[in-house]
Copies of this chain bind each other. A is one copy, B any other.
Amino acid sequence: MILVLRPDYTPEQFEHLLERIRELGFTPHVSKGQSRTIVGAIGDENEPQAEETFNCLPGVEQVLRIQKPFKLASRDFHRADTVVTVGKTKIGGGFLGMIAGPCAVENVEYLDDIARHVKASGANLLRGGAFKPRTSPYSFQGLGEQGLQMLRAAGDKHDIPVVTEVMDPRQVDMVCRYADMLQIGARNMQNFDLLKEVGQTKKPILLKRGMSATVKDLLMSAEYILSSGNSQVVLCERGVRSFEDSTRNMLDLACVPNIKGQSHLPVIVDPSHATGRPDLIPAMSRAAVAAGADGVHVEVHCCPEKALSDGPQALLPNQYETLMKDMRKLAEVMGKTIA
């Protein structure tokens, strides 16, 4: 770490900070410039407390980190792309995960219909929510365990693995009994107790980026899961909050190559939540694959106006079929496989 001293630091402050640097296991390296003195603190920057302590020392103006704050999620630690396996589906390392399904599991008929369609179109992972994080306490909150049962049955019937959201650490065991992959929603990206809890399961995790999380924040949340013992993490960009009011969120597609440069974890894109607009989903799905994403997550519903959650942003099954044709063309250009 580098400590930039204030122009008016005193000799006592200087002695004190050298002492504290050594106490924390770092070696100081002083460099006096024309107008400023800087002190390099050579050591392990992930030493808990070091950065904050240095920031508090009298006479210090700013502290600059050099190393990245994450380890297990870093490509420095693990060079090759991680391939996450969910049932027969592979995500990452040249394999595209095509996740589709309704926002919420509502009843057997709809889910069966949607599952059949998306599987036929080429999806390789079925999604559907049984526990729904809704902004309003008066909105449909999901069918709970009954929804999980329906989702499991649909997955088995149509031979497609299933992913569903878990919101509460107390539900992790139950959700694990039914799902092939657990989703952590954007609103829970920094629900650290939940991250630790799913980190102790053997299930692959789909971790969605928080609405105002930086790429670093997202990787630090992945680090919580990885450091709890679960190495099967897929990251998902789903748009962030911005001033633009014509789309639900702003899709930060540049985060795909940005993350893949510094981490080995697969990254997929959810244009449904990112835009909230079915008319933009096909273009942004194509863009995601062209940007190097390891998959696309799309909401599909056979009857959006009867959907109990997020109907307005769902594609119809025939629209999804068309989309998947584009996906295959782009996968070919990118040298990727939809397994």
Residue ranges of A at the interface with B (Cβ–Cβ < 8 Å): 2, 4, 7, 20, 29, 31, 33-36, 38, 40, 42-44, 46, 48-49, 52-53, 55-57, 64, 66-67, 69-70, 76, 133-140, 167-170, 187-188, 190-193, 196, 211-212, 214-217, 220, 223-224, 227-228, 240-247, 250-258, 261, 271, 274-275, 277, 279-280, 283-284, 286-292, 304-312, 329-330, 333
Partner of A31 from the list B40, B279, B311 (CB cut-off 8 Å) is B40
Docked Cα-Cα span, A49 to B255, in Å, equals: 29
| Chain B, residue nearest A16 (CB) | B305
Nearest-neighbour CB distance to chain B for A69, whole angstroms, equals: 6
Please pick, from B31, B57, B138, B223, the residue contacting A136 in the complex, using a CB distance under 8 A.
B223
Task: Name the residue on B nearest A46 (C-beta).
Answer: B138
CA of A241 to CA of B36 in the docked complex: distance in angstroms? Answer: 31
A277 to chain B, nearest CB (A): 8
Partner of A287, one of B216, B217, B244, B287: B287
CB distance from A284 to the nearest CB of B (A): 6
List residues of chain B with CB within 8 A of the CB of A139: 48-49
**What B residues does A311 contact at CB under 8 A?**
52-53, 55-56
A191 adjacent to B192 (CB under 8 Å): no
Given contacts A31-B42, A223-B137, A290-B289, contact A253 B169 (CB under 8 A): no
By a CB distance below 8 angstroms, the chain B residues around A256 are 283
A240 B244 Cβ-Cβ under 8 A: yes
Residues of B within 8 A of A291 (CB): 283-284, 286-287, 290
Q: Which of B42, B67, B215 contacts A244 (CB 8 A)?
A: B215
- A43 contact set on B, CB distance < 8 A: 33-34
| Given A246-B258, A280-B258, A306-B53, A287 and B137 contact (CB-CB distance below 8 Å) | no
Asked whether, in the complex, the Cβ of B246 is within 8 Å of the Cβ of A243, the reply is no
CB pair B279 A257 closer than 8 Å? yes
Q: When chains A and B are docked, how far (Å) is the Cα of A138 from the Cα of B138? A: 38
Q: Quick one: which of B31, B46, B170 contacts A169, CB cutoff 8 A?
A: B170
Q: Contact between B138 and A48 (Cβ–Cβ < 8 Å)?
A: yes
B257 and A307 contacting across the interface, CB-CB below 8 Å:
no
CB < 8 Å: which of B2, B20, B133, B275 contacts A254? B275
Assess the A67–B36 pair: CB atoms within 8 A. Answer: yes
24 A-B residue pairs with CB within 8 Å? A46-B136, A48-B138, A52-B307, A52-B311, A53-B305, A55-B312, A57-B305, A135-B217, A136-B223, A167-B191, A167-B193, A168-B169, A187-B192, A212-B241, A212-B243, A241-B243, A251-B253, A257-B279, A257-B283, A257-B284, A258-B280, A283-B290, A283-B291, A283-B292
| Contact for A140 among B48, B169, B271, CB less than 8 A | B48
Asked if residues A287 and B187 are in contact (CB atoms below 8 Å), the reply is: no
A292 to B287 alpha-carbon distance, docked (Å) = 9
A275 CA to B52 CA in the complex, in Å? 16
Q: In the bound complex, do residue B254 and residue A49 qualify as a contact, i.e. CB atoms below 8 Å apart?
A: no
Q: In the complex where A36-B67, A48-B139 touch, is A290 in contact with B190 (Cβ < 8 A)?
A: no
| A254 touching B257 in the complex, CB below 8 Å, given contacts A52-B311, A246-B215, A290-B286 | no
